[in-house]
Amino acid sequence: MAGRSTAPPLAGLPRGAVKQSGTANSEICWKMDIDSHVNKVQEFVRAGNYHAAINIALSGLNECRRNDDQAGVDTFLGVIERIAKTLAHEFGSREYQRGRTEGSR
C-alpha cells in the first residue's frame, strides 16, 4: 500500500496507522488504516470473540471521529451493525429473528 510506514507506530498511534505527507508546513499526519482495523474485527468475529470485535470497531469509530473522518465513522457503524446482526442470528430466539426486538419475560 502506497504511503505505508515501515517503522513501528509512534506511542499513542493505533497499529496499522498510515503515514500521510503533503500537509501544510511539511507536517506528517497519521491516519488510521481502516482496512487493517476491519480485518482485525473480522478475525475476532470468525473466532466467535464478539466482545473483542465490538471493542475494536468502537475504537476505530472513535479514532475516525477524532480525525473528522466521517466516511471512516460510517464504515465502522456498518461494521458494528453487521456484528449485531451476526449476534442476533447466532443467539437470538426464533421470535427475535422474526422481527421482535425484545425478549418475552
- Report the pLDDT value the prediction gives residue 66, as an integer from 0 to 100: 92
Task: Decide if 59 contacts 14 (C-beta within 8 A).
Answer: yes
- Report the pLDDT value the prediction gives residue 86, as an integer from 0 to 100: 94
- Report the pLDDT value the prediction gives residue 98, as an integer from 0 to 100: 86
| Average pLDDT over all residues of the chain | 75
Instruction: Centre a 10 Å sphere on the Cβ of residue 81 and count the other Cβ atoms it contains.
Output: 11
Instruction: Please write the tens of the pLDDT for every residue from 47-95.
Output: 999 999 999 999 999 999 999 999 999 999 999 999 999 999 999 998 8
Q: How far apart are the first and last CA of the chain?
A: 52
- Report the pLDDT value the prediction gives residue 64, as an integer from 0 to 100: 92
Global pTM value: 0.66
